A and B are shown apart, each in its own frame.
Chain A
């Protein structure tokens, strides 16, 4: 039961963050919402795949998505400055 409640909480928050990422017009402010979605999906990976190695999948997904967000924000800051 606890697993199901945690799963639904993560799923709903992932959906909410995804919608806010889409409707937020400014790229810099999209990224924190996207960050919330990544947290929720990393949680979902482990809750859906309850296996000791699923922590590797969750960490790989999370670190990869963080690296992407880092690259997008830094590239934009380097090219466009503070807009």
Chain B
């Protein structure tokens, strides 16, 4: 079994790839789901960032997306195994509906994350390291540098479209 200080960065990288991929597949950078998300995207562009990436960041703020799904699924697997992760997916779907979002990105992210965390638990990874990893992953997108993060997301969005 790998040491925790190695597991956490690996978990962070896996969570980052999972939630960014699911969000991009569900076209979160395309437009703001609500007025507030679009306004956050425009503000990030004004401050030296890029609009599609900023819009995706605004959408992450405004509704539980794949990143929230990944976090809550990791939490669910930590407290109750795979059924806990799937229960978290159901809660994310309800949360999406409350926020007037169709909920597909969040629910898909939660189901995929439940499977991923459970699978890695079999390989010897502790599910709590995925909770810490997901918090680190969202920090790199939303909490370190908005201009750089938005430009990176725009570049990944460019590959998709």
The answer to whether the Cβ of B36 comes within 8 Å of any Cβ in the partner chain is yes
Do A50 and B135 touch across chains, with their CB atoms under 8 A apart? no
The answer to whether the Cβ of B99 comes within 8 Å of any Cβ in the partner chain is yes
DSSP class of B's interface residues: helix, strand, loop or mixed?
helix
**Could you say which interface size class chain B belongs to?**
35 or more
Nearest residue, chain A, Cβ from B126: A2
In the assembled complex, 24 residue pairs joining A and B whose CB atoms fall closer than 8 Å, in A order, are A5-B5, A6-B8, A10-B132, A10-B135, A39-B68, A39-B135, A42-B75, A43-B135, A46-B79, A51-B79, A58-B72, A59-B88, A59-B95, A62-B68, A62-B72, A63-B64, A66-B62, A66-B99, A70-B62, A73-B61, A76-B36, A77-B35, A77-B36, A81-B39
Do B71 and A39 touch across chains, with their CB atoms under 8 A apart? yes
Least Cβ distance of B90 to chain A in Å? 9
**A-B CB proximity, top 4 nearest:** A73-B36, A63-B95, A74-B36, A59-B91
Do B36 and A59 touch across chains, with their CB atoms under 8 A apart? no
Q: Residues on A close to B: CB < 8 A?
A: 1-3, 5-6, 9-10, 13, 16-17, 20, 26, 28-29, 31-36, 39-40, 42-43, 46-47, 50-52, 54-56, 58-59, 62-63, 66-67, 69-78, 81-82
Least Cβ distance of A78 to chain B in Å? 6
Do A66 and B132 touch across chains, with their CB atoms under 8 A apart? no
**In the complex, which of the residues B40, B87, B132 contacts A32, with contact meaning CB atoms closer than 8 Å?**
B40
The answer to whether the Cβ of B78 comes within 8 Å of any Cβ in the partner chain is yes
Nearest residue, chain B, Cβ from A52: B80
**In the complex, which of the residues B39, B67, B84, B88 contacts A73, with contact meaning CB atoms closer than 8 Å?**
B39
Total A-B residue contacts, Cβ distance less than 8 Å: 171
**In the complex, which of the residues B5, B61, B75, B126 contacts A43, with contact meaning CB atoms closer than 8 Å?**
B75
Complex interface: chain B residues within 8 A of A58 (CB): 72, 75
Q: In the complex the two chains form, what is the Cα distance from A9 to B36 in whole Å?
A: 30
Complex interface: chain B residues within 8 A of A10 (CB): 131-132, 135
Complex interface: chain A residues within 8 A of B95 (CB): 59, 62-63, 66
Complex interface: chain A residues within 8 A of B44 (CB): 28-29
